[in-house]
Structure 1
Amino acid sequence: MEYVVVGASAAGINALKTLAKLAPNDNLTLISKDEAIHFRCILHHYLEGSRDVSQLNFTDANFIEKNNIRWLKGVSLTAIDTSTQVLTLSDGKKVVYDKVLLATGASTFFPPVKNIKDAANVIGLRNLDDAIFIKEKLPQVENIVVMGAGLVGIDAVEGLLHYGKDLTLVEFGDRLLPIQLDHKASQRYQDAFAAYGVKQRYNTAVQEVLMDETGKVKELALSDGTTIPCDLLIVATGVRSNVQFLEGTPVETDRFGMLFNPLGETNVANVYGAGDVSGKNPIWPAAVKEGIIAASNMVGQKRVLTDFFASKSTMTFLKIQTMSLGSPIPADDTYQVEIRESPGQYKKIIHKDGIITGAVIQGDLSYSGILTQLVKEQIRIDKLKKCVFDINYSDFFNMTENFEFGFCTD
């Protein structure tokens, strides 16, 4: 059996680990643009100098060799013929598959800003090549602007804090991490970054990239009518799934990316998907689970993705730990909000009809385990006999008739 995995990030590599375990006697092929396996979520550690390239690898050093994986690196997938089950690569090579996992991920989205795609020294922070480019440019630049205050943008800022550069963060929303955090949790990070000298511009958009005579970015024109100096622009305004190779094929997509079900199956036999190629749930844990599940089903061991909350993020910036679950802001007045605060600690739970729809935990994350259990077990918190913040693990130790532990109700 010829198993082919396209993509060497969270979904693809964890799928390969699963295939190597479940189908050790079959042929495994990895195809990737990346020439090194690396953990994208810690690229800022490479920027700040606390890790080298080898320390970004999240597999065993000899993972590829030990599992006899054929790795075609530095190439991308340009076409797939689902009728003949043949992949065409950017170097012209053809690869035949019996079953293929498309885990091609996503690329930095460059918004429609004048000159943003033409100016030099404008880059995303999506892969190791981006991080290497940024680090190589640091001796030549003084004014660095990060466009977008999402997780990737904040990673970039933190990774560059200690170089003595003039750092500015520009965000269209009204706060840092607007998708993951509410105003209070965001403000703690904003104050912490301000203490490091980071300039922050919220409710502001970049309208034009101004270039010098050599074509390099020199200034940015902002929506408030001001201009700011910029020698290096890091774009972190979102991603777009890598699905160009699916054009003209029967594999279904939507406006976000490729479609696949909870088993990792697409609408085409022997073609599977996992990770950011879907354009949804663009976080590492989701991609890991989807890769494992898809690979299991590729070898005939049925597994279904059922235990994942669609929007969950755990982050640590400037030694401040935070977990975000679902939406941090209630959609309307029909939602109830529970808050408990203490020095250095902030807990907020949003629920409707007893069902948790969002939460923010900042400071001590020990409560996040309890919260995860409440969500996983689908426990209605309006039926609890104690305050939701006073629940502890012992409350779950109620033996059922199947000798499993459930939630105590008496």
Structure 2
Amino acid sequence: MRIVVLGGGFAGLSALNTYRDAIVVDSKEYFLLTHRLTDVIETGDPSLATIPYPKAVVQAKVVTVDFKDKIVKTSKGNIKYDKLIISLGYEQDTGRVKGTIQKLENLNDALEIRSKLPRVKNVAILGGGTLGVELAGSLREMGKNVYLIEQQDRLLSFMSKDSSNFAIQRLTELGVNVFLGTKVDEISGEVLKTNKDEIKVDLTILAAGFRGPSIINDLGLSNRNGRMLVDEYLKSIDKDDVYGAGDSMTTKGFVPMSAQVAVQSGAIAVQNAIGRDVKFTYKQVAIVLRIGSEYFGDMMGKFVRGPMAELAKRVGIYRAIRMVESI
């Protein structure tokens, strides 16, 4: 049984750790700790968010997939498969906002933002999820005038109200200008226009707009917001020999985009690809973030802050590192 996994992120490497004979293909030379991109922006040190891939990961760019003949066409040749797992992560949709906007999707984006910071004073961050909240705190501590703009009526809308309230309290104490229930209409030059006001900014960073990779739609696979639709066993609703994992997939219900869900889905997808019948369920054990030196978040649905939250964050990073190093 030849199982090919497209994408070497949390889902892809989880699949490889579960089934060591899988072939993982990724265009990068390194595993990216996406939740540490803010650390790269703070320091300019890319090693904080990257771990070199082991030789087991094939470095090549996926061009297309021939589903009929079961061939993955890559920049370095063709790879035959019996079962295919698509776990190519996410992309950001910058087309939702008219005007010039800086995305924050990968390591290069983080380094580009870092290089621009010496020349800017006023920064707008669109999106009040974990990435936007952490980035707002970091940039404010770096002396920038920060505007955090969230379309919903609270920050961290997928977390507990205690976490949401703590985030807005801490950011406000730092001097971050938080706008809730605010929609950005367009960016015209140095003016960011919202449904409520106009703000003068030097740089606008997108920390939202996450969707599945464009290749999902290009391949003609049924999807929602670019995320391949799968059944309860993570099998594509279109192809019997194709499975989805991580941010590249979703079910008819809601599946959050997170490292924990990616790890769980990668392991289940590869088990089902080799012939088992394991239904996909996910569990968010902990979601922890940092504003300045303050760690906080939800553990098993309960609000935590301080040393316990910091420990949970560090344990998560350690486990990710071990997942790569154990291959």
Bin for the TM-score computed over the shorter chain: 0.7 to 0.9
Is residue 216 of structure 2 the alignment partner of residue 231 of structure 1?
no
Instruction: Give matches, 1:351-390, under 5 Å.
Output: 359-363=301-305
Name the CA shift for 1:3/1:159 in 2 (closer, same or farther; >3 Å).
Answer: farther
Match of 1:342 in 2: none
More helix by share: 2
Kept in 1, the 8 Å contact 2:14–2:266? The answer is: yes
What's 2:54 paired with?
64
Do the aligned partners of 1:105 and 1:277 also contact (CA within 8 Å) in 2? yes
Residue 87 of structure 1 aligns with an amino acid whose one-letter code is V
Note the alpha carbon deviations across 1:88-130, whole angstroms, 9 max, x for none. 34x4843332322100121113353332xxx2xx222222121
Cα displacement (A) at 1:255:
5.2
Asked if the contact 1:208–1:220 (Cα under 8 Å) also holds between the matched residues in 2, the reply is yes
Judged with a 3 Å threshold, the aligned counterparts in structure 2 of structure 1 residues 35 and 248 are, in CA distance, closer, same or farther, namely: closer
Normalised by the length of structure 1, the TM-score is 0.66
Aligned twin of 1:3:
3
Counterpart of 1:12 in 2: which secondary structure? Answer: helix
Paired residue for 1:222? 194
Q: Please give the TM-score of this superposition, normalised by the length of structure 2.
A: 0.81
Q: 2:78 aligns with which of 94, 109, 113?
A: 94
Q: What is the identity, as a one-letter code, of the residue corresponding to 1:88? A: K
Residue 16, structure 1, aligned to residue 16, structure 2: yes
How many angstroms apart in 1 are the aligned matches of 2:19 and 2:242? 15
Q: Which has the higher contact order (CA 8 A, sep 6+)?
A: 2
Residue aligning to 2:148: 169
1:298-353: per-residue Cα shift (whole Å, max 9, x none)?
Answer: 334554434x24x665123232422177xxxxxxxxxxxxxxxxxxxxxxxxxxxx
Counterpart of 1:10, as a letter, is F
Q: CA deviation at 1:143?
A: 1.2
Partners of 1:136 and 1:273 lie apart in 2 by: 36
- Whether the 8 Å contact between 2:216 and 2:223 is mirrored in structure 1 is no
Q: Give every structure 1 segment of 4 or more consecutive aligned residues whose post-TM-superposition deviation is greater than 6 Å.
A: 364-367
Task: Go from structure 1 to structure 2 and tell me whether the alpha carbon gap of 1:269 and 1:239 turns closer, same or farther (over 3 Å shift).
Answer: same
Instruction: Kindly provide the CA deviation profile for residues 367-394 of structure 1, in whole angstroms up to 9, marking residues without a partner as x.
Output: 9xxxxxxxxxxxxxxxxxxxxxxxxxxx
Distance 1:364 1:167, change over 3 A: closer
1:43 paired with 2:37, answer: yes
Alignment of 1:53-202 (within 5 A): 53-57=46-50, 61=52, 64-65=54-55, 68-72=56-60, 75=61, 77-89=62-74, 91=75, 93-110=77-94, 112-115=96-99, 119=100, 122-182=101-161, 184-202=162-180
Secondary structure of the residue aligned to 1:114 is: coil
1 CA distance for matches of 2:259 and 2:24? 22
Aligned to 2:273: 298
* Whole-angstrom distance in 2 between the partners of 1:144 and 1:7: 32
Residue type of the alignment partner of 1:30 = V
Contact 2:12 2:24 in 1 (8 A): no
Q: Distance in 1 between matches of 2:109 and 2:125?
A: 14
CA shift digits 1:21-69 (9 cap, x unpaired): xx3xxx724133x3421111121122222x83333236xx5x522xx44
- CA RMSD after TM alignment: 2.8
Cα deviation code 1:269-288 (max 9, x no counterpart):
33121011125321110000
* Displacement of 1:82: 0.9
* Contact preservation (8 Å) 1:189, 1:317: no
The 1:323–1:253 alpha-carbon spacing in structure 2 relative to 1, beyond 3 Å, is same
Distance 1:253 1:206, change over 3 A: closer
Secondary structure at the residue paired with 1:64?
coil
Q: Is the 8 A contact 1:323 1:362 kept in 2?
A: yes
Shift of 1:169: 0.7
Instruction: Check the 8 A contact 1:80/1:245 in 2, yes or no.
Output: no
Counterpart amino acid of residue 50 in structure 2: N
Consecutive unaligned residues of structure 1, counting only runs of 5 or more, are 212-217, 326-358, 368-410
Other structure's SS at 1:361 match? strand
User: Secondary structure of the equivalent of 1:144?
Assistant: strand
